[in-house]
């Protein structure tokens, strides 16, 4: 909780009172205790100040000319200005008080105003205002964190029922490339076991982070990855609006045939080692022979292992990884074509463009246009 002394309340107050003597005397007391205090003699003048200045708290009388306090509060609500209000009221203003309660006024102070009571109420409201600011700040920080996560990871957003709300485009590209069909999964329960989902929800709904290395099967193809899930969007009533599932270490996702996953054969070991070395070196080493030397076996041995484990040549496996990274960077969109080409280890942008077109059947610009069209739809 924020510690507020009398002289350090970082809020701006608008005090509305038609009695000039009362308005000025109370303003003089509050002025050294807050960041700024504004004065208005009626609701109309006050509304004008609220619309021009960033007011944190309104203290207003009820009975005033040119728009009374209740009319001012109604206008504040209509304009959705989200400014808390303290009303100063006399004991004989019962009908006005009933209307104020219906308008959900934050606090009431009886006249004649007891300054100690007023200061206590202002400090209490200042505490709430500052805490709300911190909540908003944390929400913004979380949004920025989510954006950063989505730019560098495969992410699936779901609701509390498991319904998929959104997926990163890079994840769609990866799965569609490996499954040879469109990504059309509607609920996370289609790919993750109910036992894992129950444990995931239990953790996330308690505002904890859930992590687990898991295996999923899609269209008879198997994928393993490290999963991290957390509450990424929270409603103002603190209920969870969405859950983000991050597929971590995506460069180490394995797609194997069922019989290979549990295999301990030498072919699998060579294949797995080759995959690991590709992830570490694909930007710089683009010839299978380089990897065979690192592993200590022949190119033929690596090629045999790749064929047996994944039904793909060693060369094609390396090419696919380079193309996957190129697509990811193109989808991300914060690098120019020439920057991507140098990042991926090509000497000239023209060589990268030719390589991309040869192995995808389209130019880099065509690919980017397709992504933009998908986002537009």
pLDDT at residue 374 in the model: 60
What's the pTM value of the predicted model, to 2 decimals? 0.45
Q: Per-domain residue ranges for the chain?
A: 9-137, 153-253, 257-376
pLDDT at residue 340 in the model: 92
Tell which residue, 32, 237, 14, 34, has the closest CA to residue 127. 34
In angstroms, the first-to-last Cα distance of the chain is 46
Tell which residue, 277, 340, 266, has the closest CA to residue 309. 266
- DSSP-derived letter for residue 205 is T
Quote the CA–CA distance of 15 and 24 in Å, as a whole number.
9
pLDDT at residue 180 in the model: 67
pLDDT at residue 322 in the model: 94
Classify domain 153-253 by CATH number.
Answer: 3.30.450.20
Tokens standing for residue 237: 């009533």
From residue 347, how far is each of 87, 110, 282, 323, 351 by CA, in Å? 72, 79, 14, 16, 7
Classify domain 257-376 by CATH number.
Answer: 1.10.10.60
Q: Phi first, then psi: what are they for 264, rounded to 5°?
A: -120, 25
CB environment 292-310: b (16+ within 10 A), e (fewer):
beebebebebbbbbbebbb
Architecture of the domain defined by 9-137: 3-Layer(aba) Sandwich (3.40)
Quote the CA–CA distance of 220 and 216 in Å, as a whole number.
10
pLDDT at residue 152 in the model: 66
pLDDT at residue 339 in the model: 93
Tell me the mean pLDDT per 10 residues along the chain, length 377: 58 94 93 93 93 92 87 88 85 64 77 89 89 83 72 81 86 73 81 87 90 75 79 76 78 42 65 91 92 92 88 92 92 89 92 93 88 61
């Amino acid at each position: 909780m924020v510690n507020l002394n009398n002289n350090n309340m970082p809020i701006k107050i608008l005090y509305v009172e038609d009695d000039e003597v009362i308005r000025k005397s109370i303003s003089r007391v509050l002025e050294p205790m807050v960041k700024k205090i504004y004065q208005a003699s009626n609701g109309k003048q006050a509304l004008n100040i609220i619309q021009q200045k960033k007011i944190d708290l309104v203290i207003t009388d009820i009975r005033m000319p040119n728009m009374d306090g209740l009319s001012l509060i109604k206008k504040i609500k209509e304009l959705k200005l989200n400014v808390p209000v303290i009303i100063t009221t006399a004991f004989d203003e019962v009908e006005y008080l009933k209307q104020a309660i219906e308008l959900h006024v934050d606090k009431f102070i009886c006249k004649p105003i007891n300054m100690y009571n007023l200061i206590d109420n202002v400090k209490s409201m200042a505490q709430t205002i500052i805490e709300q600011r911190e909540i908003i700040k944390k929400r913004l920080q979380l949004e920025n964190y989510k954006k950063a996560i989505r730019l560098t990871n495969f992410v699936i957003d779901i609701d509390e029922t498991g319904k998929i709300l959104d997926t990163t485009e890079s994840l769609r590209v990866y799965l569609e490339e490996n499954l040879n069909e469109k990504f059309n999964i509607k609920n996370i329960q289609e790919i993750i076991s109910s036992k894992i989902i129950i444990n995931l929800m239990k953790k996330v709904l308690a505002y904890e982070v859930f992590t687990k290395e898991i295996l999923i099967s899609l269209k008879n193809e198997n994928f393993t990855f490290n999963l991290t899930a957390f509450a990424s969007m929270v409603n103002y009533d603190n209920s969870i609006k969405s859950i983000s599932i991050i597929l971590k270490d995506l460069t180490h996702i394995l797609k194997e045939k069922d019989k290979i996953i549990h295999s301990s054969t030498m072919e699998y070991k060579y294949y797995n080692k080759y995959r690991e070395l590709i992830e570490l070196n694909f930007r710089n080493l683009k010839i299978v022979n380089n990897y065979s030397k690192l592993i200590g076996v022949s190119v033929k041995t690596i090629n045999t292992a790749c064929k047996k484990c994944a039904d793909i040549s060693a060369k094609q496996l390396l090419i696919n990884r380079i193309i996957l990274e190129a697509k990811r960077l193109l989808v991300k969109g914060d690098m120019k074509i020439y920057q991507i080409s140098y990042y991926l280890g090509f000497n000239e942008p023209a060589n990268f463009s030719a390589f991309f077109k040869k192995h995808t059947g389209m130019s880099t610009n065509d690919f980017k246009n397709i992504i933009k069209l998908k986002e537009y739809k």
